[in-house]
Copies of this chain bind each other. A is one copy, B any other.
Amino acid sequence: MKSSLADLDTPCVTILLDRLAGNIARVQGLVARSGKALRPHVKTHKIPAIGAMQIAAGAIGLTCQKLGEAEVFIDAGVTDDILITFNIVGQAKTGRLMDLSERIRRLSVVADNDIVLRGISDAAKGGGRRVPVLIECDTGFGRNGVQTPEAALDLALLADKLPGTQFAGLASYPNNAPRTREFYAGAIKLFGKAGLPIPVLSGGGSPALNSLADYPMMTEHRVGTYVYNDVMMVQSGVASWDDCAMHVRATVVSRPTEDRAIIDAGSKMLTREQFFVKNFGHIVEYPDAALVNMSEEHGMIDLTASARKPRVGETISIVPNHCCVVSNMVDEVYGIRDGAVELVWPVAARGLMR
């Protein structure tokens, strides 16, 4: 007999399986209708079985942020097409990249400087294989990326010239960065003049799902958070509370005052990520209560605005501010359907930052 949701000891992370399946189907449809390929980012879940669901729904392949994630998903045989969207630096890593390249049909990477390109080229030398490289462009987000279309062309030409690498396209994140449209308009003109086709133009971002049509030049979309959704996604208007598939379950362990409840989940479960969110999570059963502060293992809830107040021993469900970092705090998540625990998924790529 399956155990029930109520029997799960807390704190723990639960995944509502019907919502998960709904999110995967809905966004696959949305991206497909925009004429782009969907390449889901595994960083959000780090679970091969969910990657397999995304592929089964029609995704062209998967995105990994680090080599360690790619190793887990390739070991699990989930897909034959992975893009690693992180500069791979150092011989330890380029060696692992070459090993992985032999194991699937297409393992592509990004690069935004010649040191990264040359490192991959050196590792690939003599192997006969050319690693597909997308040139990463900074279209205003202020993270990685070449700063101009001219610099992108220079690197693309270098990738084609070096042994062991091959220009495979351009990539940036997120679509709605300030200069995306003008950057790519310039790049398309410049690459055209140079006679160099851009096979893939890869964009991304979950909030950008609302504006796919505004970026017609993009051929594929990378997106992670949509699979679970979270407070940030609801706040940015691309999901409703009923689309939130990840709930952190916690128990009220203290009611020190009439207007304060303490739960057994703190920053080591929910993290203190806020970005533009006021508190630290949305409490499903007490939407007017506010998770206002956290220690490492305690959550402090202000009940002032909540007419109903939970009692000590009661279990509550919290939608985290940012689901992608919560996945990374736990070794397993519980898959829930109709109030029963249907499965336990190990978070196989948790903590794999190298």
Contacts and interface: CB of A to CB of B under 8 A. Distances in A.
Contact of A329 (B260, B295, B328): B328
Given A11-B353, A116-B253, A143-B262, 17 more contacts: A9-B90, A9-B354, A10-B354, A12-B354, A65-B297, A86-B253, A87-B254, A89-B251, A89-B312, A90-B313, A113-B312, A138-B256, A142-B293, A143-B295, A146-B256, A267-B271, A297-B353
Copies of this chain, whole number: 2
A171 to B, nearest CB: 13
A116 B112 CA distance: 56
A92 interface: yes
A263 to B, nearest CB: 10
B313 A268 contact: no
A144 B261 CA distance: 9
Interface string A173-192: 00000000000000000000
Given A89-B251, A112-B254, A144 B354 contact: no
Interface in A223-260: 251-257, 260
- Interface size on A, as a range, is 35 or more
A144 B10 contact: no
Nearest to A250: B353
B296 A324 contact: yes
A145 interface: yes
Pairs of residues from A and B, 9 with the lowest C-beta to C-beta distance, nearest first:
A87-B253, A115-B312, A65-B297, A9-B92, A144-B254, A89-B253, A272-B273, A268-B328, A144-B262
Interface string A127-171: 000000000001000111111000000000000000000000000
A66 interface: yes
A93 interface: yes
A267 B273 contact: yes
A351 interface: yes
Interface string A14-36: 00000000000000000000000
